[in-house]
Structure 1
Amino acid sequence: MKPVLKEQILTILAEIPPGRVTTYGRIATMTEGATPRMVARALRELPSGHELPWFRVITASRRLADHGGADEQRRRLIDEGVAFDARGRVAKERLWP
């Protein structure tokens, strides 16, 4: 991945406000050529101890991606007031931007 794309992804990630979520695809469309998979890869490569709100990024179906940090992601979103419906989806109203 080009460094400029990674920088764009991380800049957008830092802008997601508390209590809101966005999708891998939405972040990708805000860049100059990244794909949703590239966004996911950039998030997987975040260094430990970073302050970026990776947990505010969900799938296009408004669910959590299936990954090792999903339980922590769910907990952190709930702590910010984000609720999940019976099917594990976040309400459309919580999507940013």
Structure 2
Amino acid sequence: MKAALREQILTVLAAIPPGRVTTYGRIAAMTEGGTPRLVARALRELPDNHGLPWYRVITASRRVAEHPGAIEQRERLVAEGVLFDARGRVAPEALWP
């Protein structure tokens, strides 16, 4: 992945406000040449203790993706006031931008 694209992805990631979420696809649309898969890859490659709100990125179906950090991700979102419905989807009002 090109450094410029990675920087764009991380810039958008850093801008997601607390209590809000966005999708891999929405981040990709805000970049030049990004795709949802490249966004996911950039998040997977974040170094430890990076401080970026990776947990605010969810799937297009408004769910937490299945991955090793999914439980932590959901807990962090709930702690920020993000609500989930009975089917595990985030309320549409929480979507950013």
TM range (shorter): over 0.9
Question: Given the alignment of the two structures, is residue 65 of structure 1 paired with residue 65 of structure 2, yes or no?
Answer: yes
Q: How does 1:1-97 map to 2 (within 5 A)?
A: 1-97=1-97
Instruction: Give the letter aligned to residue 12 of structure 2.
Output: I
In structure 2, how many angstroms separate the alpha carbons of the residues matched to 1:35 and 1:3? 15
TM-score, normalization by structure 1? 0.99
Unaligned runs of 5+ in 2: none
TM-score, normalization by structure 2? 0.99
Q: Secondary structure at the match of 1:68?
A: coil
Q: Stretches of 4+ moved more than 2 A in 1?
A: none
Q: CA shift at 1:9, angstroms?
A: 0.1
The aligned length equals: 97
RMSD: 0.3
Q: CA shift at 1:83, angstroms?
A: 1.0
Q: Percent identity?
A: 77
In structure 2, how many angstroms separate the alpha carbons of the residues matched to 1:29 and 1:83? 25
